[in-house]
Amino acid sequence: MNAQADTAFFSRRVFHQNMWQKAPRYVNDDVWTFNTQSSSQWDGLRHYGYQKERKFYNGVTMEQVHGSDEHGKKNTINGIQGTQTY
């Protein structure tokens, strides 16, 4: 997902992501804008939480998903980026 952060493939627009919490359920709604020819499946373990405990996979909280790391970058915890920020 970070491969097109600054320069898009095939002279197309770069990826853009918006993510909103869908209260009162413990759910995130993701909107991605990208060239569909770049890949096929884009999903992660932070899309739909365990409703009873209000946690995502591995005990991750909504605050962690929507948080930033110590450098101000969007948190990648439980994401598909290949690295984790805790």
Name the residue among 35, 30, 41 with its Cα closest to residue 13. 35
Secondary structure letter of residue 36 according to DSSP: T
Statement: the pTM of the whole predicted model exceeds 0.85:
no
Name the residue among 57, 50, 54, 59 with its Cα closest to residue 79. 57
Give pLDDT tens digits for 5-46.
566 666 666 777 888 999 899 998 988 776 666 554 555 788
DSSP percent split of the chain into helix, strand, coil, nearest 5: 15, 25, 60
- Model pLDDT, residue 53: 95
- Model pLDDT, residue 45: 84
